[in-house]
A and B are shown apart, each in its own frame.
Chain A
Amino acid sequence: MTYMPGEKPYPLLSVRNLSKFYGKTMGCHEISFELGKGEVIGIVGESGSGKSTLLKCIAGRLTTTNGSIFFNSSYGFIDLCRTDEMLLRKIIRSETGFVTQNSVEGLRMTVSAGGNIGERLMAGGMRHYGQIRKIARQWLETVEIDAKRMDDLPSTFSGGMQQRLQIAANLVTDPRIILMDEPTSGLDVSVQARLIDVLRKLVARLSLSMILVTHDLAVARLLSHRLYVMKDGRIVESGLSDQILDDPREPYTQLLVSSILKP
């Protein structure tokens, strides 16, 4: 089904009244927002606030209970909740990227680092082995992994390297939208700083369109243009990142912002 609102151009993504229930338990409820091309939005909130559920619905990893997710895909502005399974898989695979907190989920640990990157190119139809290796090498360098490690298994990489590899493997096919679920959690701060720096440069250079789920408000401020604050499955406040963090209006946002320790 194609959605035809009055206004054009279409946003890249338009989520409308999205709800997800696990049986009777609410994951997220009546979520609506839009994402423009070249925009990064952060979704913040504590564990259990429904932010990862929301992201997984958008990524097609969970079926939604209610609502729509309109995506400006190469097949038109279509509702991912009402797209047939085959087309949905195709769009998710070639036009979206998903970086998970747990790199074991996001990488193939039995395939070399270069293979993890090359796999996506081959899925997209590229066949020339030398060309694939060349692109893989460039991407490893972009995410600050020594190209000499190309033929090593990701299981021999540190956590920070695995996350950077996961990012490279997702960006190599130039997806229209990148979804990131707590990409910096579970890493030491020094390792985090490098990952954040790599991400920051990529966002600026490639004008990535991205949804970033994080509970780290400093990361959210650094990378996102706008923020959505979630609590108990709903959005409680949204706005420009500095507005939300410097001038929070809602009681929950004020609590969240005032709870950060500043070293």
Chain B
Amino acid sequence: MDPILNIINISKDFVFHHQEGIRIKVLDDFSMRFFPGQATVLTGPSGSGKSTLLKMIYAGYQIPEGKILIRHKKEWVDMAKALPSLVYEIRQHTIGYVSQFLRVLPRVSALDTVIEPLIARRMETGKAEQKGRQILERLRIPENLWHLSATTFSGGEQQRINLARGFVAPYPLLLLDEPTASLDPANRKTVMDLIREAVQDGSCVIGIFHNRSDQKELADRVIDMSPNMTSQPSSQALEV
């Protein structure tokens, strides 16, 4: 099968100009391919580049070196060089990304926040709201909160709104940054189900999970991003 994502020799460092010019190398010549219908878990200590990798794939971080090739509508696109208009389109249709924290907006209801990706795809509002209600129900957000702005929600509720937004529309590639971190057991199970369903439907899912049982339960493969796992030539990470 053809990969959906092919990462070739990417490196990334951060220079902090106002903190004595400290330079931190986070990724060094990293290469890896990812396939449809596959769930990959990234592990490793904080600072080993897991979130950075996800953000680079989404082009939320700049890609100074290497290529990130993504299959978008049957064409290969290098996220490092794609024109902005193409990046917007890829984010709308091909790559979904659930960040660790929801960026809440005042005056925008939880339901509207969740269905935004569907509206962006020009789905009719009534239909989008129906889908939104279904996913909010599945993630146990009480109905009396749906029409309130998520600004006043608890951390766990905000994270579930964030997840609902990520799962409301299907994406060929779904990036999840610690999706189960602040969830109770019942919601954790729901999220694991949602991930499994997405994979069964052919999505490629790449997620960061710290919980060993999550990793075991879900992953087709686990990639350890620890800095000491650099023995493998031309790839920083090791598949375990």
Contacts and interface: CB of A to CB of B under 8 A. Distances in A.
Interface in B94-110: 105-108
Given A193-B107, A222-B105, A243 B62 contact: yes
Interface in A211-263: 222, 225-226, 239-240, 242-243, 246-247, 249-251, 254-255, 258
A204 B17 contact: no
Contacts of A246: 55, 60-61
Nearest to B116: A204
A197 B119 contact: no
A119 interface: no
A39 B105 contact: no
Interface in A193-215: 193-194, 197, 200, 204
Nearest to B85: A36
Interface residues of B, number: 20
A85 B85 CA distance: 34
A204 B106 CA distance: 17
A226 B84 contact: yes
Nearest to A244: B62
A247 B62 contact: yes
Contact of A251 (B18, B60, B84, B119): B18
Contact of A240 (B14, B18, B84, B119): B84
A: contact size bracket: 20 to 34
A196 to B, nearest CB: 8
A28 to B, nearest CB: 22
A251 B22 CA distance: 12
A255 B88 CA distance: 27
Given A246-B55, A246-B61, A255 B18 contact: yes
A240 B107 CA distance: 25
A254 B60 contact: no
Contacts of B105: 197, 200, 222
B119 A204 contact: yes
A204 B59 CA distance: 21
Interface string B81-93: 0001101100000
A240 B55 CA distance: 13
Interface of B: 14-18, 55, 59-62, 84-85, 87-88, 105-108, 119-120
Given A197-B106, A243-B60, 6 more contacts: A197-B105, A240-B84, A240-B87, A247-B14, A249-B62, A251-B18
Interface of A: 36, 39, 193-194, 197, 200, 204, 222, 225-226, 239-240, 242-243, 246-247, 249-251, 254-255, 258
16 contacts: A193-B106, A194-B107, A197-B106, A204-B120, A222-B105, A240-B87, A242-B60, A243-B62, A246-B55, A246-B60, A246-B61, A247-B55, A247-B60, A247-B62, A250-B17, A251-B17
